[in-house]
Structure 1
Amino acid sequence: MRKLVIFDFDGTLVDTITDVGICFNEALKVNDLPQHPLDAFGRFAGGNLETVVSRMLPQDQITVENIDRVKTVYRKLYLESKKPNTKPYPGMMHVLDTLKAKGYKIAVNSNKGQALLDDMVQKMFPPEYFDEVVGYLESRPSKPDPCGVDMICRACGMRREDAVYVGDGASDIATAEAAEIPCIYVTWGQGNQKDEENPYNYRVVNTADELLQTLQNQGK
């Protein structure tokens, strides 16, 4: 029984994509670059911020300068945004509350900047709710490197063999595979059918209730 559950943040625990898309479109507009329909931003998600920005730029506009310009404006806009459309996915609070009540350790591993991730976790969840929260810092490798998984394991006093990873995209599957831990793939985020069919997935789940059941039935 794996008693440490590591969750991706965006697209897994929390529905952030609408507010992310609004802020990215404004950052693109400010830099005289083409904008996108809000429902397109799910296709750009996954990986660090530089990778995400490069996916939304026209091929002939993918330069270090453009990526840096869009990234800088986006970070400011998103930090200042009230994020009115951002909230936990239906049923996820019940999943987290149940796991905590049953003695599981719960943690977050994200490529969202550490300071921003800490701020959002603090505003959206009860104090000291998660056992560890690991976001992106330039001083350490980002997902899919297993650095974050190892940091979480150390902080929780557990081993990789005690952990399972829950995510919604290719970078989450790759992170779990790099750490050699099972991956439970959720279908409500920004992934696609190719991710869903990745043979590394331990389980594919469609609802929060199904996720909770899967987590509690590991090893049975």
Structure 2
Amino acid sequence: MKKLIILDFDGTLVDTLTDVALCFNEALRQTGYPQHPLEAFAGFVGGNLETVVSRMLPPDRCTTDDIDRVKTCYRELYLSSSKPNTKPYPGMMDLLQELKRRGYALAVNSNKGQVLLDNMVDKMFPPHFFDAVVGYQENRPSKPDPDGVRRICDSCHLPMEQAVYVGDGASDIATAANAGIPCVFVLWGQGTEQDRTDSRVYRCVQTPEELQALLTKEDW
């Protein structure tokens, strides 16, 4: 039986895409790079920040210096933004509260910076709602390295064999595979058709209600 539910943040728990896209476009404008239609950003996000920025820069202007310039500007803009369009997906709070009621441990694993992730979790969820929250720090590997999963399992005092990973992108699938745990793929995020059909995906779900049914009734 699985006892620990590890969830990705952006695109799985919380709809952050609009505010992320707006801040990236402003960062691109301020640093002199071409901007993109908001709908294009679903294809850019996923992975660490360096990878995301590299996807939106022109091939002939995608050096390490270019990426660092946009990344630094974006971080400042996103941190100071009030993020008016960012909120948990419909039905997500009901799902999480039911899982907690049934005794599951809940955790967040994200490539969002740890301080920013902590602030956003504190803003959008009740105090101490999650048993562990692991984001990106420069002194430790980012997803898809399984380091975050190991840290969460250690913090929750549960073995990896009792964990399941829930995410919406390629980095989530790879993180779960690298940790040796099942990945449940949600279809409401920014994942691609290639992600959905990845052989490493355990199940795909279309709604939080379907996810709840899977997590609470599946014979793992």
Shared fold (TM-score greater than 0.5)?
Answer: yes
Partner of 1:12: 12
The Cα of 1:219 is off from its aligned counterpart by: 1.1
Determine if contact 1:87/1:124 at 8 Å carries over to the other structure: yes
**Structure 1 residues 128-150: Cα deviation after superposition (integer angstroms, max 9, x where no partner):** 00000000001000000000000
Structure 1 runs not aligned, ≥5 long: none
- Aligned partners of 2:19 and 2:95: how far apart in 1? 24
| Structure 1 residues 66-215: aligned runs within 5 Å | 66-215=66-215
Q: Write the deviation string for residues 85-106 of structure 1: whole angstroms up to 9, x where unpaired.
A: 0000011101100000000000
Q: Output aligned runs, 1:7-86, within 5 Å.
A: 7-86=7-86
Distance (Å, rounded) in 1 between the aligned partners of 2:203 and 2:94: 20
Q: Structure 1, residues 53-84: CA drift from partner, whole Å, max 9, x if none? A: 00000000101111111001100100000100
Distance 1:92 1:4 in 2: 17
CA distance in 2, matches of 1:142, 1:54: 16
Local SS of the residue matching 2:144: coil
- Mapped to 2, the partners of 1:111 and 1:8 lie a distance apart of 9
**Take 1:210 and 1:166, find their aligned partners in 2: how far apart are those partners?**
13
Give the TM-score normalised by structure 1. Answer: 0.99
Aligned residue pairs: how many?
220
Q: Tell me if the contact between 1:2 and 1:218 (Cα under 8 Å) persists in the aligned partners.
A: no
Instruction: Work out the CA distance in 1 between the residues paired with 2:187 and 2:139.
Output: 32
Identity of aligned residues (%): 65
Q: Distance in 1 between matches of 2:28 and 2:2?
A: 43
Q: Find runs of 4+ consecutive structure 1 residues off by over 4 angstroms.
A: none
Aligned counterparts of 1:64 and 1:176: Cα–Cα separation in 2: 28
Tell me how far 1:218 sits from its aligned partner.
Answer: 2.2
| Alpha-carbon distance between aligned partners in 2 of 1:44 and 1:55, rounded to the nearest angstrom | 6
In the superposition, the TM-score normalised over structure 2's length comes to 0.99
For residue 136 of structure 1, what is the amino acid of its counterpart?
Answer: Y
Q: Secondary structure at the match of 1:166?
A: strand
Structure 2 CA distance for aligned equivalents of residues 63 and 145 of structure 1: 24
Rounded Cα–Cα distance in structure 1 between residues aligned with 2:41 and 2:113: 18
Cα RMSD, aligned residues only: 0.6
> For 2:144 and 2:79, how far apart are their aligned partners in 1?
24
Q: Please tell me the residue identity of whatever aligns with 1:167.
A: G
How far apart, in 1, do the equivalents of 2:202 and 2:138 lie?
31
